Amino acid sequence: MSTQDLPAALDGAAARFGRYLEAERGRSAHTVRAYLSDVESLLAHAATEGIQDLAGLELGTLRRWLGAQSESGKSRATLARRAATARAFTAWAVREELIDADPALRLKAPKREKSLPGVLHQQQVQRLVDAAEAASAEGEPLALRNRAMLELLYASGVRVGELAGMDVDDLDPDRRTLRVLGKGNKERTVPYGLPAALAVDDWLRRGRPALATGSSGPALFLGARGGRVDQRQVRSVVKDMLERLGDTAATGPHALRHSAATHLLDGGADLRAVQEILGHSSLATTQIYTHVSVERLRQSYQQAHPRA
């Protein structure tokens, strides 16, 4: 059943939940779409069981929905996320008095598989930035931009969406810091190093003016036609750079974020400082990078110690 075929009461509840996430919780448009995709999947399943409004939702309905997701091959991480969405939705419905009791209170889903994120070695990062610098040597605007984006992603650990959304005045060149608008519209200040500062300055002096148009506005990074660079373009640039590196399975800008966090901890940075830099709301999210560091240490030990 498509979402267009949902009973009016269910469709209306989904729409109200979306407005709540956006207006009251300050969720981004991307996050709202992700939540609503899961909620609409649940309600479409409920409709196939003859449920016409939220009062008909039962724990069994939620469990059968997750079961169908599992049978279709969805990963444990996806099932855990969808169960969390269902709990958020039904808890909201109780608060809004759309239902009397919360059917998801006893809903459980498989625990997420704990996977270590792809991380580049410091030597690989050096080769990556060396290649970007060589490509920008002739001053071609897009090459200058690509080098600056790469340096800034690794130097600051920002998310790709945060990078694409930056304006020129978000930079403080004197203090070498960035003003970053992160998830939930939370603002943070992030430092960056001298190599990134030099690359960004080169882009601003020689690259950006060559691409800027009257409609470019304050965007820090521009596309070939002068508009603000979008996330897809950034991902494509970094993906191509990593593929040319040749000896890593890491893909995309998030690998640079993972690498920045891991290398900070490897270098002795405080875990809470790394949490602040990355913009994690929970320290537990940052702690996965300590596992990465320990795993890398273990691998090095096994390779190097004669009695490993």
43-92 per-position pLDDT tens digit: 999 999 999 999 999 999 999 999 998 888 888 888 888 999 999 999 99
Instruction: Indicate the residue among 95, 112, 144 that finishes a domain.
Output: 95
**Structure confidence at residue 1 (pLDDT):** 44
Output DSSP code: residue 248: -
Helices within the chain (DSSP H only): 8-23, 29-48, 59-71, 76-95, 122-135, 141-156, 160-164, 194-202, 208-211, 231-245, 253-266, 271-278, 283-286, 288-304
CB neighbour list of residue 48: distance below 8 Å, 6 or more residues apart: 1
CB neighbour list of residue 139: distance below 8 Å, 6 or more residues apart: 206, 207
**Structure confidence at residue 2 (pLDDT):** 43
**Structure confidence at residue 208 (pLDDT):** 97
Indicate if 138 and 173 belong to the same structural domain: yes
What are the residue numbers of the active site? 159, 183, 254, 257, 280, 289
Q: Which domain holds residue 12?
A: 3-95
Q: Number of structural domains, the chain?
A: 2
**Structure confidence at residue 171 (pLDDT):** 96
**Structure confidence at residue 300 (pLDDT):** 61
**Structure confidence at residue 29 (pLDDT):** 86
Helices 122-135 and 231-245 pack at an angle, to 10 degrees, of 110
Radius of gyration in angstroms for the set of CA atoms belonging to the chain, rounded to a whole number: 23
Residue 89 burial (CB count, 10 A): 24
Instruction: Indicate the residue among 79, 95, 111 that finishes a domain.
Output: 95
Helices within 6-121 (DSSP H only): 8-23, 29-48, 59-71, 76-95
CATH code for the domain of 256: 1.10.443.10
Structural domain includes residue 100: no
Parts of the chain with a pLDDT under 50: 1-3
**Structure confidence at residue 293 (pLDDT):** 65
**Structure confidence at residue 112 (pLDDT):** 57
